[in-house]
Amino acid sequence: MSKKLRLSAVGAALALGLVACGGSGAGGGSGSSGNDSNPSDTTIGVAMPTQTSERWIADGNNVKKQLEDKGYKVDLQYANDDIPTQSQQIDQMITKGEKLLIVAAIDGTALSSQLQAAADAGIKVISYDRLIRDTPNVDFYVSFDNYKVGVAQATALLAGLGVTDKDGKATGTKGPFNIEVFAGSLDDNNAHFFFDGAMDTLKQYIDDGTLVIKSGQNQIEQVAILRWQQETAQKRMEDLLTQSYNDGTTVQGVLSPYDGLSRGIITALQNAGYGPTTSGGAKPMPIVTGQDAEIASVKLINDGVQSSTIFKDTRLLAEQAVTAAVAFLKGDEPEANDTKTYDNGQKVVPSFLLPVVTVYKDNIQKELIDSGYYTADEVAKGQSD
């Protein structure tokens, strides 16, 4: 992961811009003013959900290194997708007197008591990528525009099927195309934004018969995958093929919100005789979307197996989390670019949202290799050095 800790030119430029304009408002907000003047005496707690996804490993490492580069001490903890473990880790961070918390929650509704304790101790809390819900004690949120992630995934599915171009402009192709849809874990607030953005985009094509969800499963409660588990997605795809495609028809597109799920879905399809070409009797591989540009899936895209992924440059997300943290520790308020969208059930949380990029085979070089996120050798191998 060391190469991902190097800032790209665009990332560095964004970081400088954010530092220049963040937290400079008159009458700065409450916080541990003066801590930043001696960061070596300041420990920041960073709670990440799991190490089973390379994405979260990269996030944790990026945040840790960037904070340490500014002189802070960092207590980075992973909870292995276990809610009690994460709750205990955060309790311990508060007990040890850590000055600020950056939290990527496993379950966005399960940390109310911990965050109340943090508030009582005067500890600011930054919700990282997954919005923490049902508590007023979230001070800031850093993420990507998650509704637009869903729009981008649906657009990539439509473009892969030839229904629209990559910009979402209709081509006149009418289908019908058989598709199935997947969603993430219901306890992850982002999963709902992804699904809503995608289904809003697909709706007109479902309504006019261009797209057919043959299983009839089109509600998030029907299609959600708990904890974003690859094996669960594989099993659901196997069940869909057995139950809805046992009449000689084929599935032609799958909306998948995350690369790990995509790989499980692809495994089920390959086991059922689908492949990139029809040689050897294989059924054509459906258009399969994804998210997070995990290296194993980038290789599948490069090899023509998976169709696309959504690239969320976690180097930039880490930069923004660090920028917000420094502002709070100076006693200032970090700059938000969205103060309306992210209502967590108790308050609208000030947020900073970053843009996303759809990656297809033809722009892997530009978006992932030229930016320094991966090397060409890593893409070819499907494994990070």
pLDDT tens string 149-183: 999 999 999 999 999 999 999 999 999 999 999 99
Could you say which DSSP state residue 331 is in?
Answer: T
pLDDT band of residue 279 (cuts 50, 70, 90) is low
Residue 326 and residue 262 share a domain: no
In terms of Cα–Cα distance, which of 62, 68, 69, 16 is closest to 44?
Answer: 68
Q: Can you give the residue range of the structural domain that contains 158?
A: 146-311+377-381
| Domains contained in the chain, number | 2
- For residue 385, the model assigns a pLDDT of 83
* Mean per-residue pLDDT over the chain, rounded: 90
- For residue 163, the model assigns a pLDDT of 98
Residue 177 and residue 106 share a domain: no
99: CB partners within 8 A, 6+ apart: 32, 35, 42, 43, 44, 123, 329
Domain assignment present for residue 41? The answer is yes
Residue 121 and residue 195 share a domain: no
Write down the pTM of the prediction.
0.83
- For residue 13, the model assigns a pLDDT of 37
Residue 303 and residue 223 share a domain: yes
- For residue 10, the model assigns a pLDDT of 37
Residue 168 and residue 190 share a domain: yes
Domain assignment present for residue 369? The answer is no
CA distance 124 to 137: 8
Residue 300 and residue 249 share a domain: yes
Q: What is the mean pLDDT of residues 193-215?
A: 98
- For residue 280, the model assigns a pLDDT of 58
Dihedral pair phi/psi, residue 101, rounded to 5°: -120, 135
Domain assignment present for residue 367? The answer is no
Q: What tokens appear for 313 in the block?
A: 């440059």
Could you say which DSSP state residue 164 is in?
Answer: B
pLDDT band of residue 24 (cuts 50, 70, 90) is very low
The percent of residues in the chain predicted with pLDDT above 90, rounded, is: 86
Task: Name the residue type at position 244.
Answer: S
The percent of residues in the chain predicted with pLDDT above 70, rounded, is: 89
